[in-house]
Structure 1
Amino acid sequence: MRTEDTGGVGPDLRHHGDAEVRDDGAGLVDLAVNVRADTPPAWLREEIAGSLSSLAAYPDGRAARAAVAARHGLPVERVLLTAGAAEAFVLLARASKVRRPVVVHPQFTEPEAALRDAGHTVERVLLRAEDGFRLDPAAVPEEADLVVIGNPTNPTSVLHPAETVVRLARPGRTLVVDEAFMDAVPGEREALAGRTDVPGLVVLRSLTKTWGLAGLRIGYVLAAPEVIDELERAQPLWPVSTPALAAARACMAPRALAEAGHAAHRVAGDRAYLVAGLASFADRGVRVVEPAEGPFVLLRVPDAAGVRRRLRDLGYAVRRGDTFPGLGAEWVRVAVRDRATVNAFLKALSAALAPPTAPPVSPG
């Protein structure tokens, strides 16, 4: 684990998984984007469609905000609805008066990009592959007054223990925990959403991934009331649309939470199946970061750029890893899908990989 400044030219922080399937990606099987397949479900589409008759009125977020608060057992003063978690990163960057922000990488790159765009100088703490990308709180500089970490982390799929993450908190520091994929973890174990005993804690959640709402843009922030007030002042008026508010209310209902819980268990089973299949390529240099706990896995692959290119020719898009600080060109991220899709992907991967190295021939 090491720290790194960001003064030089580095990875493209604005590259995201959707770029792998835009433009020339028509017809590709999408394993680059982490949105759950076959979403949004029909009942959620109906809820959203039912809101369209109210589009003449300005959005009223009070009911959705109350629903989010009730879901996490919090007062509404601790909830802010946002146009996706990405907007929350921008609000934090613009509203925060910090001197030494630190982002723990590899992780989703938008928090650092937003901080830099707001004029902050960002320091990176880079977790290492040889340590399993596990967090050591002591590696974060004591003087850091804002720390950002994902849990479970995109792209490593590492789920940090909640109490390890809490060790990053201290008076005078804002601790931002991106829990965009926490609802894909069975039981949401290690979640900090709903905690009010951690100083400076700001938790971000997204409804994009589990419910397939990337095009609708809906997420939320959980934090102390004074932080929520500060972020809300940085928002434009009516930042969340009426259809997105309808989706937020629907996704907080008991039926939806039960469905999300079942989906998390199904994803865990499909992920285990994918990881087991990838293990068969160990003799060809493929290494999986384990234990994986998110709806995606991170792989180290020889000639990853060539493998990604050959996979595209075979009809599959995966996420390049070299745009994440702390990773290099040998990394790719693969979204978890159903077993039929995984079987077809593994067959394609076998064809895309370089042939296994033949054992040396003994002179004779």
Structure 2
Amino acid sequence: MTPASPTEPDLRHHGDAEVRADGSGLVDLAVNVRTGTPPQWLRDRLAATLGDLAAYPDGTAARAAVAARHRRPAAEVLLTAGAAEAFVLLARVLAARHVAVVHPQFTEPEAALRDAGHEVHRVLLSPSDGFRLGAVPDEADLVVLGNPTNPTSVLHPAAAVAALARPGRTLVVDEAFMDTVPGETESLAAVRDLPGQVVVLRSLTKTWGLAGLRIGYVLGPAPLIAALGAAQPLWPVSTPALAAAEACSTPAALAEAEAAARLLTEHRDHLLKGLAAFPSVRVHGEPAASFVLIELPDAAAVRTRLRAHGFAVRRGDTFPGLGGDWLRIAVRDEGTTDRFLTALDAVLGEARGSLPGAAPGTAAS
């Protein structure tokens, strides 16, 4: 366990920075939003709300739909302006004495906790055992982790996550990418009988392509949900965002998300097979989400060269527990992946002299 330092790394860096400014024309493998989204039926549903914008938002129906989707009472659901708002609310409302954040993971929870004045202790998982979830300090009364975890793509067993729950502790599980897992097999979203306070965060951004709309939600004990809601400003979620939450909770939408998750599995397997052809590239653990984390020598230089070949990937050194030899790659269709692997082959060929382990003539299948 390592106390975090505000001087490193850059917790506010996110994947969208890779495709802004000079990223025009690059194939985006840095952001994990599913391509081709929102689907047309969802666009139509959002457009239909424009006539209602003169009225203040009413989240009753959306909250009920999300509650039914996860088999919970509506009092255990809080709709938020994206999962990022939920991290801020939790940081402001919870009076924790010992905060433990399990890394590598999405950096916004730690940033929000620090902004709220919390001292954050990092629990660093190791690539040597595939970023497997281990113990956290007994004294931790607030524990935050992702499942599946961004950027490692590792899906922790639900039993291992649940084992972290205990009386007097708030366990926050960021399941923003759980709907990229077929069957959502390791989710705690519908689990209500664990000790302590267990809070699950969800996002509609990734599968449905709604990053610009800002819609997510929190699932947890009713008293805590009420406290978080009291900390929100009035009408925190817009009418179009509420319509999205309701629409994406229907059986038809859930079936579409499940089909997308199964297709994603095939596309990820194709990417992993191609990456396995590079001796200098290592994947730790078993990726389960819509991205793959790789380790390779001098990844920062590789990332820059990939941009020259038309591809933007996510740097890994801004995640605690990683460093300059890590990159995160979004899973795309097989044609896009093949073009990326060809570019990676060219980049590693250009860099043979400075990248030990990159074999001459490595082929990307």
Same fold (TM over 0.5): yes
Question: 1:290 deviation in Å?
Answer: 3.1
Q: Equivalent of 1:345, from 340, 347, 356?
A: 340
Q: 1:196: which partner in 2?
A: 192
- Whether 1:229 and 2:226 are equivalent positions in the alignment is yes
Return closer, same or farther for 1:7/1:40 CA change in 2, 3 Å cut-off. same
Question: 1:27 deviation in Å?
Answer: 0.5
Return closer, same or farther for 1:312/1:42 CA change in 2, 3 Å cut-off. same
Q: 2:37: which partner in 1?
A: 39
Which residue identity does 1:224 align to in structure 2?
Answer: P
Which residue identity does 2:219 align to in structure 1?
Answer: L
Q: 1:238: which partner in 2?
A: 235
Q: Secondary structure at the match of 1:201?
A: strand
Q: Secondary structure at the match of 2:262?
A: helix
Q: 1:361: which partner in 2?
A: none
Q: Secondary structure at the match of 2:323?
A: coil
**CA distance in 1: counterparts of 2:7 and 2:251, whole angstroms:** 47
Question: 1:131 deviation in Å?
Answer: 1.4
Q: Secondary structure at the match of 1:87?
A: helix
Q: Equivalent of 2:324, from 320, 326, 329?
A: 329
Question: 1:20 deviation in Å?
Answer: 0.4
Question: 1:197 deviation in Å?
Answer: 0.8
Q: 2:363: which partner in 1?
A: none
Q: Are the equivalent residues in 1 in contact too, given 2:278–2:359 (CA < 8 A)?
A: no
Q: 1:317: which partner in 2?
A: 312
Which residue identity does 2:81 align to in structure 1?
Answer: A
Q: Secondary structure at the match of 1:86?
A: helix
- Whether 1:107 and 2:102 are equivalent positions in the alignment is no
**CA distance in 1: counterparts of 2:67 and 2:262, whole angstroms:** 25
**CA distance in 2: counterparts of 1:129 and 1:260, whole angstroms:** 30
Question: 1:302 deviation in Å?
Answer: 1.4
Question: 1:10 deviation in Å?
Answer: 1.2
Q: 1:133: which partner in 2?
A: 131
Q: Equivalent of 2:47, from 46, 49, 52?
A: 49
Q: 1:291: which partner in 2?
A: 286
1:37-186 counterparts in 2 under 5 A? 37-136=35-134, 138=135, 140-186=136-182
Q: Secondary structure at the match of 1:18?
A: helix
Question: 1:8 deviation in Å?
Answer: 5.3
Which residue identity does 1:157 align to in structure 2?
Answer: S
Return closer, same or farther for 1:146/1:61 CA change in 2, 3 Å cut-off. same
Q: Equivalent of 1:12, from 10, 13, 16?
A: 10
Q: Are the equivalent residues in 1 in contact too, given 2:131–2:285 (CA < 8 A)?
A: no
Q: Are the equivalent residues in 2 in contact too, given 1:289–1:297 (CA < 8 A)?
A: no
Deviations 1:265-285 (A, max 9, x none): 000010000000000012xx1
Q: Are the equivalent residues in 2 in contact too, given 1:304–1:331 (CA < 8 A)?
A: yes
Question: 1:357 deviation in Å?
Answer: 4.7
**CA distance in 1: counterparts of 2:109 and 2:6, whole angstroms:** 18
Q: Secondary structure at the match of 1:287?
A: coil
Q: Secondary structure at the match of 2:273?
A: helix
Using the size of structure 1 for normalisation, the TM-score is 0.96
Q: Are the equivalent residues in 1 in contact too, given 2:99–2:121 (CA < 8 A)?
A: yes
Q: 1:304: which partner in 2?
A: 299
Q: Are the equivalent residues in 1 in contact too, given 2:154–2:288 (CA < 8 A)?
A: yes
Runs of 4+, deviation exceeding 6 Å: none
Question: 1:198 deviation in Å?
Answer: 1.3
Question: 1:7 deviation in Å?
Answer: 3.7
- Whether 1:220 and 2:211 are equivalent positions in the alignment is no
Which residue identity does 1:14 align to in structure 2?
Answer: R
Using the size of structure 2 for normalisation, the TM-score is 0.95
Question: 1:352 deviation in Å?
Answer: 1.1
Q: Work out the number of aligned pairs and report it.
A: 353
Q: Are the equivalent residues in 2 in contact too, given 1:81–1:221 (CA < 8 A)?
A: yes
Q: Secondary structure at the match of 2:122?
A: strand
1:249-288 counterparts in 2 under 5 A? 249-282=246-279, 285-288=280-283
**CA distance in 2: counterparts of 1:128 and 1:235, whole angstroms:** 36
% same residue = 68
**CA distance in 2: counterparts of 1:289 and 1:49, whole angstroms:** 43
Q: Are the equivalent residues in 2 in contact too, given 1:17–1:319 (CA < 8 A)?
A: yes
